[in-house]
Amino acid sequence: MSGVSGADLHAERIASLAGATLGVMHAASLAVAMIGQALAQARGLVTKHAIKQVDRMLSNNGIDVGELRPLGAAPDR
C-alpha cells in the first residue's frame, strides 16, 4: 500500500485502506455495509464492528482519496 499511498500516510490508515480494499474485493460492491460484511467474513471479525471500521475509514479526513495513486503510477514531483 505504501506504493499507492505515498510515504506520508499513517500506518493505521494504510491498514484501514487495506482492510476496506479486501472487503471491496470480496463483496464486489461499493456499499459500506456490504464492504464491512465481506471484510468481517474474510478476516473472521464481528460484522457490526467491521462495518463501523469501514464507515469510520471512509469519513476520516486524514485520508485524501484524491492523493492516492494507482499502482505503478509515478509519484508527483
What's the pLDDT at 11? 80
The residue ranking higher by pLDDT, 17 or 38, is 38
Q: pTM of the full predicted structure?
A: 0.69
Q: In the predicted model, is pLDDT for residue 5 greater than 70?
A: no
Give 3-state DSSP helix, strand, coil % of the chain, rounded to 5.
60, 0, 40
**Assigned C-alpha cell, 27:** 463483496
Distance of alpha carbon 57 from alpha carbon 33, whole angstroms: 13
Model confidence pLDDT, tens digit, residues 21-60:
899 899 988 899 999 999 999 999 999 999 999 999 888 8
Q: In the predicted model, is pLDDT for residue 72 greater than 70?
A: no
Give CA torsion, residues 61, 65, 68, 69, to 10 deg: -170
Q: Parse the chain into domains and list their residue ranges.
A: 2-59
The residue ranking higher by pLDDT, 16 or 3, is 16
